[in-house]
A and B are shown apart, each in its own frame.
Chain A
Amino acid sequence: MSFEKEIEEHERRTQKVLAMGGEKRVERQHSMGRLNARQRIDYLMDSGSFLEIGRFARSDRPEDRDSTPADGKVCGYGRIDGRETAIVSHDITVKSASSSPINVRKMGHIRRTAQANGMPLVLLNESSGARIPDTMGAIGTGTLGQDPTQFVRMRDIPYVSAVLGPAFGTACWFTQLSDFVVMRKDAQLAISSPRVTSIAINQEIDPMELAGWKMQSEVTGKVDYAVDTDEEALDLLKRFLSYMPGHHGELPPRAAVSPGADDMAASLLDIVPESRSKVYDVRKVVSAICDPGSVFPLKERFARTAFTALARIDGRVVGILASNPLFKAGALDADSCDKATGFLVLCDSFNIPIVILSDTPGFLIGVEGERRKAPGKVINFMSALQMCSVPKFSIVMRKSYGQAYLNMGGTRNSDEMLAWYTADVGFMDPNVGVNVVFGVRYEEEPERFTQLVEEVRRDSSAYDLAGIFSAQAVIDPRESRVWLKRLLQVHERRPARGIGKHLLGGWPTTF
């Protein structure tokens, strides 16, 4: 047979690369309950669709040429649920998946191809950071930064990240840039590893405090979901992508609606308590309004007063932003503003209409909030809201006071504002207002106080809001779904084919 030698050699080299860091290191990965870099790709992508790019890339240091298959990052293109996707899967068995000029070049290529061709970028992050000794010294460090657009994020394509092990350096940076992040509970996400950090600051560091999933889910809000296994992580990436377009020039995919989807809305009068002092879980309201099984919460453990979720109504993807009275009676704090702002940026960037549900006594005021730059965050939220060009619908469920009324889509800050007949809109809580405006305190004049509260409250109804045409309709809560379905049909932005102006595309990815 001709070319027998070349065929054999090619096969030998191929098998060597596919063996990654060798049997021992690959086995170690498995013993920790983790898939390896290539298995992750196989699990995630449609069978047979993966095309590897840069398989024979390797370290440019002669002494490392034979020990760096694919230079530690397996990259390429494949399909997820039939849609073209680009992927970078860090291979921890090869020099701890550390970054080098060659593999960074590979990642840049994958990213630019994804952008040019409108494919989401999937990052399976697990890396020790920059490769040592390669990046040491002026030559090592000075060689970095060859890609002046490496960290430009214009949200032309979705970026999704799974943190599947220790993720430092580039693995951490690209997680920060991502629209959706899922993290294994035994993984770590930080600038530098606990070990390096301990050495640098000469103190013992608790890895979970520095880089753990709880901190990243509850305190920074960077992580959307924390999971136990690689498979769960990859399934969640798939689920998120099913709500996204492949790029910002197209609409998200529409799904079928199960029969009986309209029936849930009838339960809304049971979910919301008649007594105004009682709270309820707004997540139940969201489930009753949206297509069954379609609600996909984001950052659920962070800033719980603001509930954010992707969902579907009538098969169409929508973004739900709802204040949750179950937490802090729905009062919006600094973190809630950040969470809401980030969510608006996501929806607007990917042509997803926004549905805002409001039941909030306003923004939480106090010294702690001011120290956390609450006013600035309130205004970031307003700027983002006003820069959205996707359709925005707002429903005032019960309370909507003060500036928060505006942030939650009040008056012309949404395309259509609906008010449940239980809506109660005013500048501030009447109990505070009577004290501020009339100087009457409950403790001193209980009867007069109560009477004044009643008077103030009388002018704050849904009908008053609709009377001046700030609300476009007063509805029974049970009509919410039907109204939203119909409004989504009307507000299709047909002249632009549903594609927005994307003014928020370059918004920061963390704040």
Chain B
Amino acid sequence: MATQPVLSEITGKVWKVLCPVGALVGEEEPIMVIESMKMEIPVLSPCAGRVASLDVGEGDDVSEGQKVASVES
């Protein structure tokens, strides 16, 4: 059982969190949506597993490379 960090690929603002902690996600399934450049950009899970943590909330600013969640596979 490994926990992988989920990093934001882009600088922007957290617009929507799509899954609660504990939710099951598939590889490349969106966990949250970040708004940047007037686009809704999904943050995708790096692996199939369970959302172990959500490190940001709706409305928070995020930077490129920032850890926004983690998934336990």
Contacts and interface: CB of A to CB of B under 8 A. Distances in A.
Nearest to B12: A329
A431 to B, nearest CB: 5
A429 B37 contact: yes
Interface string B1-37: 0000000011100000000000000000000000011
Given A331-B10, A368-B64, A326 B37 contact: no
Nearest to B11: A366
B72 interface: no
A326 B42 contact: yes
A279 interface: yes
B9 A328 contact: yes
Contact of B41 (A329, A368, A429, A431): A329
A329 B64 contact: no
A422 to B, nearest CB: 15
Main secondary structure of the interface of A (DSSP, over half): loop
A5 interface: no
Considering residues A327, A328, A361, which has the most beta carbons from chain B within 10 angstroms of its beta carbon? Answer: A328
B64 A429 contact: no
Contacts of B10: 328-329, 331
Interface in B19-67: 36-42, 44, 64
Interface residues of A, number: 14
A361 B36 CA distance: 11
A450 to B, nearest CB: 12
Contacts of B64: 366, 368
Nearest to A362: B37
B16 to A, nearest CB: 12
Given A328-B9, A328-B10, A329-B10, A278 B40 contact: yes
Contact of B37 (A331, A366, A368): A331
A277 interface: yes
Contacts of A329: 10, 36-37, 39, 41
Given A327-B9, A328-B10, A331-B10, A429 B38 contact: yes
A334 B10 CA distance: 14
A366 B36 CA distance: 14
A431 B38 contact: yes
B40 A277 contact: yes
Contacts of A366: 11, 64
Contacts of B36: 329
Contacts of A429: 37-38
A329 B36 CA distance: 8
A458 to B, nearest CB: 17
Considering residues B9, B10, B37, B42, which has the most beta carbons from chain A within 10 angstroms of its beta carbon? Answer: B37
Interface of A: 277-279, 325-329, 331, 361, 366, 368, 429, 431
13 contacts: A277-B39, A278-B40, A279-B40, A326-B42, A328-B10, A328-B41, A329-B37, A329-B39, A329-B41, A331-B37, A361-B39, A366-B64, A431-B37
Interface of B: 9-11, 36-42, 44, 64
Given A277-B40, A328-B10, 7 more contacts: A277-B38, A277-B39, A279-B39, A366-B11, A368-B64, A429-B37, A429-B38
